[in-house]
Amino acid sequence: MDFLLIGLAHSDLVGKGVFSLYPLPNNSAGPFGANNYSQVIGQRADGVISSGKVDWYLSQSHSLAGRYNFTEDRSLIPFTSDAINSSLSTRTRTQNLSLFLNTTVPDYGNALRVSYGRTRLAFPPDKGAPLIFGSSPLPGAATQVVQTRYGRFGPFGVTGPIGQLAIAPYSTIGVDVFNFPQGRVDNTFQVSDL
C-alpha cells in the first residue's frame, strides 16, 4: 500500500511538472475564448546575393570566361509544425565558380566548362526556443543537466529533459528533435567538353 501511494505521489508530481511547461491562456479575444494563448515572435532576415563575371580574349580564336555566384541567408523561422516555442534559425550559403574556355577556328569549335558548386544548409535552434527543455527543479530534488553541441541545458526537474511535448488536445511545445537541428553540405563538380 505504501508503494502505491508513493507511486501516485510521484506521478502526480510528474503530471504537475509536465503541465507547468504549458503557458497559461492570455488572450480571451482569440478563437478559443478564455482558452486562447497568443505569442508575438520577432522576425529577422538577412541575406546577401552577389555575382560577378569576367571575360578574357586570349586571341581572336580563344576566349576564357569566369563566373562566380554567392548567396547567404540568415533568417528566423518563427515556428515549426505549429508548435509553441519552436523557432529555428536558418544559415544557408551557396557558392558557384564556373570557368569557360572557348575555341573557334575555321570548321572547328570547342567549349570546355569546369565548375564547382557548394551548398551549406543549417537549421540550429533559436535562442527563444530551446532544443531541450523541462520543468523547473524543486528545492532539494534531484536534477539533470544535458550537454550538447548547442550548449548546456538544465537543470531539469521531475520531467527530465524533453525535446518536444505533444499532449492532445493541447498545442505541441518545443522543437521537433527528430528533424531539427540539422545541417548538411553538398559539393558539386562538373566538367564538360563539347
Segments in the chain forming alpha helices (H): 2-19
Copy the grid coordinates of residue 48: 546577401
Predicted local distance difference test score (pLDDT) of residue 143: 72
Predicted local distance difference test score (pLDDT) of residue 74: 92
Peptide bond just before 106 cis, omega within 30 deg = no
Q: How far from the centroid of its chain's Cα atoms is residue 3's Cα? A: 45
CA distances from 136 to 3, 16, 54, 59, 61 (A): 26, 11, 60, 74, 75
CA distances from 162 to 93, 146, 147, 155, 159 (A): 31, 10, 13, 12, 7
DSSP state of 31: T
Predicted local distance difference test score (pLDDT) of residue 3: 37
Digit-by-digit pLDDT tens for the chain (194 residues) are 333 333 444 567 777 778 888 888 898 888 888 888 888 877 788 999 999 999 999 898 999 999 999 999 999 888 887 888 888 889 999 999 999 999 998 888 899 999 999 999 998 877 766 677 777 776 666 677 778 776 777 777 777 788 888 888 888 888 887 788 888 999 999 999 98
> In the beta sheet, which residues pair with residue 17?
none
CA distance 161 to 181: 16
Q: Under a CB-based contact definition with an 8 Å cutoff, are residues 156 and 134 in contact?
A: yes
Predicted local distance difference test score (pLDDT) of residue 10: 52
Predicted local distance difference test score (pLDDT) of residue 132: 75
Predicted local distance difference test score (pLDDT) of residue 133: 75
Predicted local distance difference test score (pLDDT) of residue 164: 85
Predicted local distance difference test score (pLDDT) of residue 128: 64
